[in-house]
């Protein structure tokens, strides 16, 4: 009987140990964890793409607060619900750009900042309608290409250009979710 108990204990230890190892290997990384990582990295290293509109400054992945950023009332606002989960993706449209946020617990974080016209420029002075040559001169050739899109990455932020016939037709800052 003693021997039996020992074997049973070994089996139990193997099961629990196996689960523990599995749990460690499978430890899920929540959006919140990711976002905090980004927020920390953003502040510590400043190795990110940041969008500026006058004295208003925004970085994808950061908490979104119109008051803190100094944004006024948007021209239009929309909410997109998920198919099954709680929380809303929110879109705030301003005259020259559109900000989309994603829910992170009770708060919202900036997901994308999308340029709506040629009036807006990146911090480095590139705008929609500029040439691809200007994009390369400004940001270099360290980009990833997907279709017509050229993506520069810093930390957990992307700066994305869509180029058609050598002309920039779209600019977007975005948060890297993976």
Partner 1 sequence: MKKTIKTIKILFIILVLIIIFVLVNKLLSPKYMENLVEGSMIAEYYDEEKNHEVIFIGDCEVYANFSPMVMYEQEGISSYVRGTSQQLVWQSYGILKETLKYETPKVVVFNVNSLRYSEPVSEAYNRLTLDKMKWSKEKVEMINASMTKDETFISYVFPILRYHSRFSELNKEDFEYMFKEKKNTFNGFLINKKVKPAGNLPTKKVLPDYNFSENCIKYLDKMTQICKDNNIKLVLIKAPSLYPYWYDEYNNQIIQYAEKNNLDFYNLKEVADLVGIDYEKDTYDGGLHLNLTGATKLSTYFSKILKENYDLKDYRKDESVNKIYQEKLKLYKQAIKD
Q: Residues in the site for partner 1, rule: CB under 8 A?
A: 1, 3-5, 7-8, 11-12, 15, 19, 22-23, 25-26, 28-29, 76-81, 83-85, 91, 93, 98, 100, 114, 116, 146-149, 160, 162, 169-170, 172, 178
What's the first-to-final CA gap in the chain, in angstroms? Answer: 52
Closest CB 112 distance from partner 1, rounded Å: 9
Shortest spacing between CB 134 and partner 1, in angstroms: 18
Closer to partner 1 by Cβ: residue 1 or 67: 1
Lookup result for tokens 């997901």? 111
Residue closer to partner 1 by CB (options 50, 91) is: 91
Nearest distance, CB of residue 51 and partner 1, angstroms: 16
Q: Which is nearer to partner 1, 48 or 113 (CB)?
A: 113
Query: Which residue's CB is nearer to partner 1, number 8 or number 46?
Result: 8
Decide: 131 and 167 in contact? Cβ < 8 Å: yes
CB of 147 to partner 1, least distance (A): 3
Nearer to partner 1 among residue 12 and residue 46 (C-beta): 12
How is residue 122 annotated by DSSP? Answer: -
Q: How far is CA 3 from CA 7, 8, 9, 45, 109, in A?
A: 6, 9, 10, 58, 58
How many CA within 13 A on the CB side of residue 41? 19
Point out which residues pair with 157 in neighbouring strands.
154, 175
- CB-count burial class (<10 Å; 0-12, 13-18, 19+) for 134: middle
Least Å distance between CB 25 and partner 1? Answer: 7
């Amino acid at each position: 009987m003693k021997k039996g108990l020992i074997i049973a204990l070994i089996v139990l230890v193997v099961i629990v140990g196996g689960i523990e190892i599995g749990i460690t290997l499978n430890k899920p990384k929540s959006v919140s964890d990711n976002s905090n990582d980004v927020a920390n990295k953003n502040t510590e290293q400043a190795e990110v793409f940041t969008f500026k509109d006058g004295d208003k400054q925004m970085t994808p992945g950061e908490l979104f607060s119109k008051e803190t950023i100094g944004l006024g009332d948007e021209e239009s606002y929309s909410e997109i619900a998920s198919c099954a989960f709680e929380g809303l993706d929110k879109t705030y449209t301003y005259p020259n750009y559109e900000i989309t946020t994603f829910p992170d617990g009770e708060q919202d974080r900036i997901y994308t900042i999308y340029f709506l016209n040629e009036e807006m420029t990146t911090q480095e002075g590139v705008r929609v309608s500029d040439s691809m040559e200007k994009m390369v001169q400004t940001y270099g050739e360290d980009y990833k290409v997907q279709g017509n899109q050229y993506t520069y990455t810093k930390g957990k932020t992307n700066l994305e250009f869509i180029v058609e016939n050598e002309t920039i037709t779209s600019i977007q800052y975005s948060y890297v979710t993976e």
